[in-house]
Amino acid sequence: RKGNVIITGASSGLGLATAKALAETGKWHIIMACRNFLKAQMAAKSAGVAKENYTIMHLDLASLESIRQFVDSFRRSGMPLDVLVCNAAVYLPTAKEPTFTAEGFELSAGTNHLGHFLLTRLLLDDIKQSDYPSKRVIIVGSITGNTNTLAGNVPPKANLGDLRGLASGLNGVNSSTMIDGGEFDGAKAYKDSKVCNMLTMQELHRRYHEETGITFASLYPGCIATTGLFREHIPLFRLLFPPFQKYITKGYVSEEEAGKRLAQVVGDPSLEQSGVYWSWNKNSASFQNQLSEEASDEEKARKLWEISEKLVGLA
């Protein structure tokens, strides 16, 4: 049979390009988990993904209730689950004030980290039950949270501190909206959420890989300077960022190329190793990248896991 893969945020950018790349192999059925059903439908159509290769299901990661409903509807569909790709994200670099998820968590941490944390924990049971030969959970990371790289050192730098803001709820009422307890900064909130994604991938690996055989991996697909991720940025930035990445940093990749990279992490037998953060060199060859000190801190990963469990109602 075909493999079944859920991709969150498959209505644009990297998620859509990955859905297209996987559909073209003829080996995958893609469950596009999207907050805007119509947008997802139009996106799949205009990308030329054949109807029989995908199903769209509603998922709003900024609502824990919606995540639980998504899991219920997925289970009712009767499809086995073989691979989960946590790809959706929001990036609010110019926001002056924080915005919040349905449960009142700062939106970047709430969507990118807490939403995917709950989704993954709930779907782990489903993946365990699948008889697919290579089962995987992939969480899209980023170099921007990686302070051992040049791009990761552009201020404001990611820093989760001692997680005191997260522990007190990130709601801005009786707590800070930032994980480290500091003042709200939209660009930093995104980078922090990506560090959480990479810590979560490794904690999943430590807790479940041996017992379940599931591969847990993260990746930095390259700088896909043209996606909707930068929609909140000022117009001048949006104009100059793609050529800057193309000609100056040379970190630019097209959406199509990035989609092929993520598709490799989904299905390529040579990328089956668990606990790995994949990157690609200039010749588009994959390699296992080093994580920053904070993103590989085991103690922090454990603490993040425990606090996140409480916030999403699992503990």
Kindly identify the residues of this chain, within the stretch 155-184, that bind ligand NDP according to CB under 6 A. none
Kindly identify the residues of this chain, within the stretch 44-63, that bind ligand NDP according to CB under 6 A. 59-62
Q: Decide: is 108 part of the binding site for ligand NDP (CB under 6 A).
A: no
Is residue 54 annotated as part of the catalytic site, yes or no?
A: no
**CB-based closest residue to ligand NDP:** 13
CB of 209 to ligand NDP, least distance (A): 22
Q: Decide: is 15 part of the binding site for ligand NDP (CB under 6 A).
A: yes
Please say whether the beta carbons of 158 and 191 come within 8 A. Answer: yes
Residue choice 5, 83, 85, 140 for contact with ligand NDP (CB under 6 A): 140
Q: Decide: is 5 part of the binding site for ligand NDP (CB under 6 A).
A: no
Q: Decide: is 227 part of the binding site for ligand NDP (CB under 6 A).
A: yes
Q: Of the two residues 200 and 227, which places its CB atom closer to ligand NDP in the complex?
A: 227
Q: Decide: is 146 part of the binding site for ligand NDP (CB under 6 A).
A: no
Residues marked active site are found at: 190
Positions in the binding site for ligand NDP (CB under 6 A):
8-9, 11-15, 34-36, 39, 59-62, 87-90, 111, 140, 142, 194, 220-221, 223-225, 227-229
